[in-house]
Amino acid sequence: MKVAYLLQVLSAAACLCAAEDSGPGWQWSWACKSGRCVKSEYPISYASSRGISNITRKSQSACRLTCGQYGALWPHPTGPTTIGEQVVAFHPSIIRFDLLEVVDSGRGTREYLAACTQLFLDNLLVECGANCSVVSDTDVYVRLVTRSQDLTLNWNTDETYTLDIVTSSRVNSVTVNIRAETVYGARHGLETLSQLVARVPAPLGGGGRGHSSPRKHLLIMATNVRLSDAPIFRHRGLMLDTARNFLPLYAMKRTLDAMAASKLNVLHWHATDSQSFPLESPRVPQLARRRFGAYSSRQVYTPQDVAYLLEYARLRGVRIIMELDAPSHAGNGWQWGEAAGLGQLAVCVNQQPWRKYCIQPPCGQLNPTNPNLYRVLRDLYRDILDIFPRGEPLHMGGDEVYFPCWNSSAEIVNWMEARGQGRGQADFLQLWADYQSTALGTLDEEVGHSNTPIILWSSHLTEPGVIESFLNKDRYIIQTWVPASSSLPVELLAKGYRVIYSTKDTWYLDHGFWGSTVYHNWRVVYDNRIPRKAGVLGGEACMWSELVDNQSLDAKVWPRTAAMAERLWADPETRSSSAEARFYRHRQRLVTRGIRADAVSPAYCYQNEGECQ
């Protein structure tokens, strides 16, 4: 009984005779030819196939699994990779895990790996679906070895791993070895392993074990595999905006699942903006709930929500960087100062006609001249520090400060005048810089040191001509959102700043839906290369949420962000056309895992690899 399930993928020259009857169903078959899965001229029928049949081994997913240098892997590994043609059928319930660590087992490490293996099994069960055939003739051992007990996830985390799959001399036993420095590398290894598995139609009866329905499926795993892998860029991010439209926790969890599937490692959470302040602060409850900074009492993130999401992300190899955008993009949530005897914490809030006071309605800008503002910020920072690991970067926003707003406030103008300042551009720039350094000083006092990395959007303040007089290059990382043609990132790098690229004309996912902006399809996203230079931390796709909520989030973010994920993980010399078959497969994978990823081609092009280029 233990013999039947070692499948040899047949050689390419396959004669497939026309199906004789329509039977209960039929399907096309595929054969791998020069790295491409080529569809047969005629379909084969379920009725005419028995045992471990052509239906199983010639299905498209079986072909794609082992065809070409990288099979179905996304993003592709960066080290030497071989994927042999041999596959075995197995069921997730028979996988045995060995969680080995070279150093004495750290409890945290073990727990992390145990959680990862569960997520891995869940993904396999989802892949196999409701009618998963319980074929258990092959024993699968997965051995996970990590060397470090360090559970820190940051820009220095070693994400490398090696993976090999060998069929041992024991009949029908397969051993998977995943070796990594850290648990995060091991997690990536398990993700890769899940992509070395495919769902295929189970054969009709005759193969034993009662698979009698053609609607059943089984899982196969590639077996002669050897690869090593490490990312090119260490910051591979997605920005979600939860202020223009609120995103429920489950939408963010879904997004994190898709990020994990694509080996992205940073969720940049643009939590607040002038439209709403959904982040609940125990020390300053007025911001979200009590004075209506949130859209409703339910559309808030409690500290428990944030902590939960942080852990949810960590188990998927993703860290969360919180952004509190300031001093601009702050309005609703900040109106209560005067009533509370703290003076105006923000000015121009919701002021009309908005075009006079801001770039996008509703208006609002923090009031840097009010000392009470910094008391409130201090409390807010303390709330953040209660939840986030110490040393985690904070994104302090800093985009689109609009001077006419400050200039319209008698309080601010008088304050500047009293210090002998004028009302020119340079004076307001100085005011902004003073705000930034006072806010940072406040944060540093709460943290207890001055080493927290700070991220800011590129802005007037980060112009190469002035940045050095305002922002210390050892402290500040600049997230540039200029077009690919702009020299700004390179100029900042030359001055010694670290840079995160959010190339506006490729990685801004909101484009194409408003004004004269243009939609960037996955090829444009994929083909955007950023320099491999010291100081380039990586990149981020940005999902500004004016026109997105839970209903359309997945389709706008996925699978395009996965295209960026391979660019940042592997940075291939080749362009999107070489990645097409694997990308289409990955889109399918995301859909299988519950992500409503958008369609990226007619099914014809998915079935006929390379024919639509």
Ligand X SMILES: *[C@@H]1O[C@H](CO)[C@@H](O)[C@H](O)[C@H]1NC(C)=O
Catalytically active residues are 400
∠558-560-562 over CA atoms, to 5°? 80
Least CB distance to ligand X at residue 10 (A): 6
Q: Which stretch binds ligand X (CB under 6 A): 11-19, 20-28, 104-112, 155-163?
A: 11-19
Site string for ligand X, 544-573 (x = CB under 6 A): ------xx--x-------------------
Please check whether residue 388 is in contact with residue 322, taking contact to mean a CB–CB distance below 8 angstroms.
yes
Q: Does 534 bind ligand X (CB under 6 A)?
A: no
Binding mask 163-202 for ligand X (x = CB under 6 A): ----------------------------------------
Number of residues lying near ligand X (CB under 6 A) = 25
Structure tokens at 573: 């010399």
- Shortest separation between residue 129's beta carbon and ligand X, angstroms: 5
What gap in Å lies between CA 186 and CA 179, rounded to an integer?
Answer: 7
Q: Which residues of 193-215 are buried (b: 16+ CB within 10 A; e: fewer)?
A: bbbbbbbbbbbbeebebebeebe
Q: Which of residues 28, 155, 354, 403 is near ligand X by CB under 6 A?
A: 403
* Distance between first and last Cα of the chain: 46
- Closest distance to ligand X from the beta carbon of 21 (Å): 13
Compute the least distance from the CB of residue 71 to ligand X, in Å.
21
Tokens 């010399």 correspond to what residue?
573
Euclidean distance between CA atoms 217 and 227, whole angstroms: 28
- Which one of residues 36, 382, 423, 529 is an interface residue with ligand X (CB under 6 A)? 423
Cβ proximity to ligand X, 391 vs 424, nearer residue: 424
Question: Which of 596, 601, 605, 608 is in the footprint of ligand X by CB under 6 A?
Answer: 596
* SS3 annotation, 107-145: HHHHHHHHHHHHHHHHHHHHHHCCCECCCCCCEEEEEEE
- Please report where in the chains the tokens 């997965």 appear, as a residue: 142
User: Out of 6, 26, 52, 53, which residue is the one contacting ligand X (CB under 6 A)?
Assistant: 53
The one among 27, 54, 56, 462 contacting ligand X by CB under 6 A: 54
- Concatenate the DSSP letters of all residues of 474-489 into one string: TTEEEEE-S-TT--HH
If the CB atoms of residues 403 and 415 are measured against ligand X, the closer one turns out to be 403
Q: Residue 116 or residue 238: which is nearer to ligand X going by CB? A: 238
Rg (CA), the chain: 27
In DSSP terms, 98 is beta-bridged to: 143
For residues 295 to 314, the per-residue mask of contacts with ligand X, x marking binding by CB under 6 A and - elsewhere, is --------------------
CA dist., res. 601 & res. 585, Å (int): 11
User: Which one of residues 25, 43, 84, 404 is an interface residue with ligand X (CB under 6 A)?
Assistant: 404
Q: Tell me if 447 contacts ligand X by CB under 6 A.
A: no
Q: Which one among 105, 136, 154, 213 touches ligand X, defined by CB under 6 A?
A: 213
* Distance set, CA 519 to CA 237, 510, 525 (Å): 20, 8, 10
User: What distance in Å separates the CA atoms of residue 609 and residue 613, rounded to the nearest whole number?
Assistant: 9
Interatomic CA distance for residues 462 and 109, integer angstroms: 40
Identify the residue among 136, 154, 372, 407 touching ligand X (CB under 6 A).
Answer: 407
Stretch that binds ligand X, among 126-134, 191-199, 261-269, 535-543 (CB under 6 A): 126-134
Q: Token match 């071989």: residue? A: 82
Residue 10 in the binding site for ligand X (CB under 6 A) = yes
Pattern of binders to ligand X over 130-169, x per CB under 6 A?
xx--------------------------------------
> Which residues are at the interface with ligand X (CB under 6 A)?
10, 14-16, 48-50, 53-54, 129-131, 213, 215, 403-404, 407, 423-425, 428, 550-551, 554, 596
